């Protein structure tokens, strides 16, 4: 297990993560940096990621100096090539995302400009949920209370008193 400088002692068993590789997102600063140090001190090889390579290199050097194992990989976690391709369309009725990683699927769902997103399924529809498209795929939403709103023509009667 690598030594940790400044006399720091982990509350976890030494070697708890020995032989494991753990990916720490945001490992270049703040909480991620602390977690990366802790995991490396407990025997893990840590892979730290973030956008700015200079921050990652700094933390990597710190961990290596302490005798830990660390590699870094700089990238923007929101830079999804598939999202760019999907959004590069004048239409946006629906899309389907297939992934074993539900967090990633939800993150992508927030970025794709469509009216309906199915995750790990296709064409499931509860009639109470909003139906309609984005961009040139439609205006407004139908379904449940959304239908009431869409087919109701509100009028404004203004009386000067
Ligand atoms: N600090 C606290 O007391 C506290 C308490 C509760 C919750 N939190 C939450 O815990 C999280 C981390 O907090 P922190 O204090 O450690 O913040 P931080 O020092 O700002 O660290 C955030 C890290 O995420 C990376 N990052 C941000 N956007 C990214 C992106 N699009 N792609 C890849 N990497 C990205 C940053 O790397 P780059 O700079 O290289 O992009 C940075 O290393 C935050 O969500 C914060 O709200 C913090």
User: What is the predicted pLDDT for the residue at 82?
Assistant: 82
Residues 21-39 as b/e (b if ≥16 CB within 10 A, e otherwise) read ebebebbbeeebbebbbbb
For residue 11, is pLDDT > 80?
A: no
Segments in the chain forming alpha helices (H): 30-41, 53-65, 81-87, 102-111, 145-150
- Mean pLDDT for 79-91 is 86
User: What is the predicted pLDDT for the residue at 69?
Assistant: 96
For residue 76, is pLDDT > 90?
A: no
User: What is the predicted pLDDT for the residue at 6?
Assistant: 55
Give the Å distance between the CA of 26 and the centre of ligand 1. Answer: 6
Residues in the chain: 161
Give the Å distance between the CA of 82 and the centre of ligand 1. Answer: 24
Contact 54, 26 (CB under 8 A): no
For residue 9, is pLDDT > 80?
A: no
Confidence of residue 111 (pLDDT cuts 50, 70, 90): very high
Domains of the chain, start order:
5-74 (3.40.50.720), 81-150 (no CATH)
Give the C-alpha separation, 52 to 5, whole Å: 25
User: What is the predicted pLDDT for the residue at 7?
Assistant: 55
Closest C-alpha to ligand 1, atom 12: 31
- How many of the other CB atoms lie within 10 Å of CB of 86? 17
Give the Å distance between the CA of 106 and the centre of ligand 1. Answer: 19
Point out which residues pair with 103 in neighbouring strands.
none
- Calculate the CA 114 to chain-centre distance: 18
Closest C-alpha to ligand 1, atom 42: 26
For residue 157, is pLDDT > 90?
A: yes
Closest C-alpha to ligand 1, atom 20: 30
User: What is the predicted pLDDT for the residue at 2?
Assistant: 47
Closest C-alpha to ligand 1, atom 44: 31
Atom of ligand 1 nearest to the CA of 76: 32
Give the C-alpha separation, 111 to 87, whole Å: 9
- Phi-psi group of 84: left, alpha or beta (phi > 0 → left; psi -120 to 50 → alpha; rest → beta): alpha
- Mean pLDDT for 42-65 is 96
Q: Which residue has the higher pLDDT, 132 or 3?
A: 132
CB-ligand 1 contact for 50 (6 Å cutoff): yes
CB-ligand 1 contact for 115 (6 Å cutoff): no
User: What is the predicted pLDDT for the residue at 61?
Assistant: 97
H helix or E strand, kind and range, residue 126: none
Closest C-alpha to ligand 1, atom 14: 30
Helices 30-41 and 53-65, axial angle in degrees (round to 10) = 30
Confidence of residue 74 (pLDDT cuts 50, 70, 90): very high
User: What is the predicted pLDDT for the residue at 1?
Assistant: 46
Burial (Cβ within 10 Å: 0-12, 13-18, ≥19) of residue 63: buried
């Amino acid at each position: 297990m690598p030594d940790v400088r400044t006399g720091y002692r982990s509350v976890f068993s030494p070697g708890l993560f020995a032989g494991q590789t753990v990916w720490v997102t945001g490992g270049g600063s703040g909480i991620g940096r602390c977690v990366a140090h802790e995991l490396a001190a407990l025997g893990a090889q840590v892979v730290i990621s973030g956008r700015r390579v200079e921050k990652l290199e700094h933390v990597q050097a710190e961990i290596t100096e302490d005798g830990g194992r660390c590699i870094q990989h700089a990238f923007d976690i929101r830079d999804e090539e598939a999202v760019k391709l999907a959004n590069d369309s004048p239409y946006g009725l629906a899309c389907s995302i297939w992934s074993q990683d539900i967090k990633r699927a939800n993150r992508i769902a927030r970025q794709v400009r469509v009216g309906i997103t199915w995750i790990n399924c296709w064409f499931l529809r509860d009639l109470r949920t909003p139906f309609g498209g984005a961009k040139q795929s439609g205006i407004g939403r139908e379904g449940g209370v959304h239908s009431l709103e869409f087919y109701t023509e509100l009028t404004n009667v203004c009386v000067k008193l």
